[in-house]
Every structure is written in structure tokens, then in C-alpha cells.
């Protein structure tokens, strides 16, 4: 029995030896770096390991940012025309439709006006009186030359001639304001080239000079983008600033430039208007409308009223900028970077970061300009951290 017990003991001992775990020893340098990083102490690595790190001094260059603001395509103030009635009367015909492209001098609508008939009749009458007054004055001059005329009669004829000329001039100006035509028929014409934006004229309606505009025109070659900028962002915008604009109806982006900033802030929305000129690409697109003529405008050209998203290149809110790869996340919430010390060791530094843009992130605290920061390979110094991106 003793022999059997000894065999069992040997067998169990052998089993225990086979089940013992095998633990691989970690490199001493990696263990020391991880331990120091976890304890918040400076990390020191060997020279062969340093070749995998990228270290850069942090400069004082101010980072750039992109400010996205809503906007709308609009006509410039000088590119809009409001055409009203040139004489009191009744509208008998409307010759255009909204969206039509018209040239300067093109007929827009026709009015029957008794005032126009009177003005034209007055012009004809004054013209006839002027002819008669000129002939009478000429006759008095001839009679004086022959010695049979009187100086008094010549002076009276001269006065009547001046009155006739003044009356003729007044009648001509009144007729010019009404426009060319015959009798009581008045044709209202476009003063400039443009697109018919709005028509408020209806056949049979009574109209008069100085009333509501009957037709509104806009020049498609003079468009701008009006952006509504929050009051707090105005300090980051200046005349001459460049950016881009996105429109749903157009592919890609168009270049824009800040031309002017509105003088007031809306008391309700707390926003101010910023006026931006559209670059040459948009100008050529809008110009193609004029070249195509009425009824041929493409649905994809730049048009007034389009909603826009303006992207302006602005200065950041201050602070420095780091490559995103330099920033590590610790414990799910802390943002840290590793700063090289004078003794060659690396110190973990908690920082405050802002928004990231084009591979760089804004830093608002924790670093000063000139410090050398690990911008590549920071995870080699702290295997317990995660990269920001």
C-alpha cells in the first residue's frame, strides 16, 4: 500500500507541474515607461526608441478656422428696378411674364390714358404756336429793315416767341415722361436690361404715377450673397476676407469675398448682414443668362433667392495649434500631450483643446509657445492612453 501511495503522489506532482502558467517577461524599458506614465512621472526611453518619435516646437502661429453661416443670393441694390405707371389710366395689356429676360427699351405693359392724350395734344398745340410766333417775329424784323415796322411791335413779337418756346419745352418734357406713342395709348418700357422678378399689374386695373410698382426687374449679372452673422462672430470678420459658398442648386463651391458689413444688428435674431461678392466663376454663370436670351435660362444658374451656406476662413479664438496625432485621451476624458524636458525625459501635460480643422486642433491652455511636444508616436510613451483621432 505504501508503494501505491507513492506512485499516486508522484503522478499528482507531475500534473501540477504541467498546469503551472508560463509568463513571458516584458522588456524592461517598456515596463518602466508604462509604469512611469501611469504614475504621472516623467518617461525616459532609449535612443533606439526615440527614432520612432516626432518632436516639434510649438510656435505662436494663430490657427485658422472655418466659420459656417447661412445666407441667401440677392440682387445688389443698384441692380434692381421698380417700374410704375407713367400716366394715369387703365391697364389694357401686360406683355411680359415673371422670369422673362428683357432688354432695355422692351415693352412691358400698355395703358390707355386720357392724361396722355391731353399731354400729346398740348405738345402739338404748343408746337404750332411756336411756329406761328417764330414767323411773326421774323416778319417784324423784315418790316423794320424796310423802314415800315415799329420797334414796339417787334418787342411784342419777341416776347410772344419766348412764351411759345417755354410752353413748347414744357409740353415736350411732359410728353417725354409719358413715353412715345399716339393718342391715349401709353407703352411702359424697361429702362434697363434685367429679369422680370415680379408683376403686380393686372388688365383692367386703374393706375397712376407715383403709385405701386407694376413690374420689378433685376440684373442677373449683379448678384451677391447676403450672410446673417451672429453678433458674437462679427469680430472675426473683416472686409476683404475670402471664403467659399455652397448652394444646393449648383455643384461644388464658388469663391466669395466680404465686401461690406451691415451697420446694425437685428434686435431679435442678434445677427448682422454681411455682403459678399461672388467670384468670377459665378459671374460667368450669371452672364450666360444674358447671352441665352428670354426663355432659355438654365435651371442651374445662380439665381436671386437661392439659399446658401457661406464658409469663411477666419482666425481662431486664440491659442496654439497642434497636430491631432499629438493629443492623447486619458481615462476617457483627459486630453494630454507629452512635452520633452531639458534632461531628455518626457512629461505628460494635460491641456485644454478646442475644435479641430484640417488635421490640427486648437489648444487653449496647458502649453506655451516654444515647448517641444511629441507629435508622432506619442502612444509609445503611454500604452494606456488612446489617440484623439
Contact of 194 with 101, CB cutoff 8 Å: yes
What CATH code is carried by the domain that includes residue 152?
Answer: 1.10.287
10 Å Cβ neighbour count for 266?
A: 12
Global pTM reads 0.52
The answer as to whether 17 is a domain residue is no
Residues 301 and 330 both lie in one domain: no
Residues 249 and 310 both lie in one domain: yes
Residues 299 and 224 both lie in one domain: yes
What CATH code is carried by the domain that includes residue 378?
Answer: 2.40.420.20
The answer as to whether 96 is a domain residue is no
Residue 38's pLDDT is 54
- Residue in the structure block whose three cell numbers are 535612443: 47
- Of 128, 163, 183, which residue sits at a domain end? 183
The answer as to whether 266 is a domain residue is yes
Q: Is the dihedral of CA 304, 306, 307, 309 positive or negative?
A: negative
Contact of 81 with 192, CB cutoff 8 Å: yes
Residue 357's pLDDT is 67
The answer as to whether 84 is a domain residue is no
Residues 235 and 283 both lie in one domain: yes
The answer as to whether 213 is a domain residue is no
Residues 274 and 234 both lie in one domain: yes
Residue range(s) defining the domain that contains residue 260: 68-78+218-315
Residues 148 and 232 both lie in one domain: no
Residues 223 and 311 both lie in one domain: yes
Contact of 353 with 318, CB cutoff 8 Å: no
The answer as to whether 253 is a domain residue is yes
The answer as to whether 345 is a domain residue is yes
The answer as to whether 92 is a domain residue is no
Residue 380: partners with Cβ closer than 8 Å, 6 or more residues away: 33, 45, 49, 52, 53
DSSP track, 236-290? G--TT-EEEEEETTSSSEEEEEEEEEEEEE-TTT-EEEEEEEE-HHHHHHHHHHH
10 Å Cβ neighbour count for 244?
A: 16
Residues 222 and 311 both lie in one domain: yes
Residue 202's pLDDT is 92
Low-confidence ranges of the chain (pLDDT < 50): 1-32, 34, 39, 281-300
Residues 310 and 239 both lie in one domain: yes
Residues 239 and 296 both lie in one domain: yes
- Of 290, 315, 340, which residue sits at a domain end? 315
- Of 291, 315, 339, which residue sits at a domain end? 315
Count structural domains, the chain.
3
Residues 252 and 299 both lie in one domain: yes
Backbone φ and ψ of 223, nearest 5°: -110, 160
Our measurement of the distance from residue 79's CA atom to the centroid of its chain's CA atoms, rounded to an integer in Å, reads 17
Q: Which three cell numbers stand for residue 189?
A: 418700357
What CATH code is carried by the domain that includes residue 278?
Answer: 2.40.30.170
* Tens of pLDDT, residues 325-349: 888 988 777 889 999 998 989 999 9
Residues 309 and 357 both lie in one domain: no
Amino acid at each position: 500500500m505504501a508503494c501505491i501511495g507513492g506512485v499516486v503522489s508522484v503522478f499528482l506532482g507531475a500534473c501540477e507541474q504541467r498546469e503551472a502558467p508560463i509568463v513571458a517577461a516584458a522588456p524592461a524599458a517598456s515596463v518602466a515607461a508604462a509604469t512611469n506614465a501611469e504614475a504621472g512621472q516623467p518617461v525616459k526611453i532609449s535612443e533606439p526608441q526615440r527614432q520612432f518619435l516626432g518632436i516639434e516646437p510649438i510656435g505662436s502661429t494663430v490657427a485658422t478656422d472655418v466659420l459656417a453661416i447661412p445666407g441667401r443670393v440677392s440682387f445688389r441694390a443698384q441692380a434692381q428696378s421698380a417700374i410704375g405707371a407713367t400716366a394715369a389710366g387703365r391697364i389694357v395689356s401686360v406683355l411680359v411674364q415673371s422670369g422673362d429676360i428683357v432688354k432695355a427699351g422692351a415693352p412691358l405693359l400698355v395703358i390707355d390714358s386720357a392724361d396722355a392724350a391731353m399731354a400729346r395734344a398740348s405738345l402739338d398745340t404748343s408746337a404750332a404756336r411756336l411756329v406761328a410766333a417764330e414767323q411773326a417775329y421774323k416778319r417784324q424784323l423784315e418790316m423794320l429793315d424796310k423802314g415800315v415796322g415799329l420797334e414796339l411791335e417787334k418787342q411784342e413779337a419777341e416776347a410772344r416767341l419766348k412764351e411759345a418756346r417755354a410752353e413748347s419745352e414744357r409740353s415736350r418734357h411732359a410728353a417725354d415722361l409719358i413715353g412715345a406713342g399716339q393718342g391715349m395709348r401709353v407703352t411702359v418700357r424697361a429702362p434697363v436690361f434685367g429679369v422680370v422678378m415680379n408683376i403686380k399689374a393686372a388688365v383692367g386695373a386703374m393706375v397712376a404715377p407715383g403709385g405701386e410698382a407694376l413690374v420689378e426687374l433685376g440684373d442677373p449679372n449683379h448678384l451677391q450673397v447676403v450672410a446673417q452673422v451672429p453678433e458674437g462672430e462679427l469680430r472675426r470678420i473683416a472686409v476683404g476676407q475670402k471664403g467659399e459658398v455652397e448652394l444646393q442648386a449648383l455643384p461644388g463651391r464658388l469663391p466669395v469675398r466680404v465686401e461690406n458689413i451691415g451697420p446694425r444688428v437685428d434686435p431679435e435674431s442678434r445677427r448682422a448682414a454681411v455682403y459678399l461678392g461672388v467670384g468670377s466663376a459665378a459671374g460667368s454663370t450669371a452672364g450666360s443668362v444674358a447671352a441665352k436670351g428670354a426663355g432659355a435660362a438654365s435651371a442651374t444658374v445662380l439665381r436671386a433667392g437661392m439659399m446658401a451656406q457661406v464658409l469663411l476662413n477666419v482666425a481662431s479664438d486664440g491659442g496654439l495649434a497642434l497636430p491631432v496625432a499629438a493629443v492623447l485621451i486619458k481615462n476617457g476624458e483627459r486630453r494630454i500631450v507629452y512635452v520633452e524636458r531639458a534632461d531628455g525625459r518626457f512629461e505628460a501635460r494635460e491641456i485644454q483643446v478646442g475644435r479641430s480643422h484640417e488635421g490640427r486642433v486648437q489648444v487653449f491652455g496647458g502649453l506655451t509657445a516654444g515647448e517641444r511636444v511629441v507629435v508622432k508616436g506619442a502612444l509609445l510613451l503611454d500604452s494606456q492612453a488612446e489617440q484623439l483621432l
